[in-house]
A and B are shown apart, each in its own frame.
Chain A
Amino acid sequence: QKEVEQDPGPLSVPEGAIVSLNCTYSNSAFQYFMWYRQYSRKGPELLMYTYSSGNKEDGRFTAQVDKSSKYISLFIRDSQPSDSATYLCAMSGEYGNKLVFGAGTILRVKS
């Protein structure tokens, strides 16, 4: 079993939809949780960064962490075609240095 599980998709939604992306993990020592967005033929770029449990909002993006269930989510409101990309969850332990990545979910937003 992988340490971090993420559905690869692809997930296809119409423009304006609310998107929910999720990851589950098995290591209870994870403390730092991140979402990276990766466009085709580009490197991943940091989208959201949270510590421990709770919610964090940034514009159309909301990250949620539920440590009791070992489950993290990224919500995208009013999705746009420019949101079409691969979304990678990542997490690390107390010292936050060596990240463990999910396999990534491909998102396609249709106009």
Chain B
Amino acid sequence: DAEITQSPRHKITETGRQVTLACHQTWNHNNMFWYRQDLGHGLRLIHYSYGVQDTNKGEVSDGYSVSRSNTEDLPLTLESAASSQTSVYFCASQRGLNSPLHFGNGTRLTVT
């Protein structure tokens, strides 16, 4: 079965370190998204991509970057981790416009 996997499931890092969260999907979807989920805020869009070499900023993109070198992967990089980036991060993919999102099971990131 097609799926979307995130790794690691849990990560603890120190302030100022660079961190990369992996997202891999086997749906062959063009559209991929990164969200963060925090109490009281729900899911907020960080970055998204509509295809290889395409990346776009979401509503909370400061301090994050993504790259899309193939269809299957959209890694999320925190350039210099901050305590405010402690959160649960979800990756999602979408077959096309107006299609539902398929989510991974998340990465819980703690920045100390």
Contact = CB atoms under 8 A, between A and B. Distances in A.
B25 interface: no
B34 interface: no
Given A96-B97, A98-B48, A45 B103 contact: yes
Given A42-B105, A43-B90, A49 B42 contact: no
B100 A34 contact: yes
Give the residue among A41, A49, A97, A104 with the most B Cβ atoms within 10 A: A97
B106 A8 contact: no
Chain B, interface residues (CB within 8 Å), range: 20 to 34
Contacts, number: 52
Interface string A33-74: 010000001111110010000000000000000000000000
A97 B94 CA distance: 8
B101 to A, nearest CB: 7
Contacts of A103: 40-42
Q: Describe A's contact surface by its main secondary structure.
A: loop
Given A46-B100, A96-B97, A6 B106 contact: no
A96 B98 contact: yes
B84 interface: no
Contacts of A46: 100-102
A49 B99 CA distance: 9
B12 interface: no
A101 B100 CA distance: 13
A49 B100 contact: yes
A11 to B, nearest CB: 16
Given A95-B97, A96-B97, A98-B48, A44 B31 contact: no
A43 B40 CA distance: 17
B100 A44 contact: no
A88 B104 contact: no
A97 B31 contact: yes
B98 A95 contact: yes
Contacts of B60: none
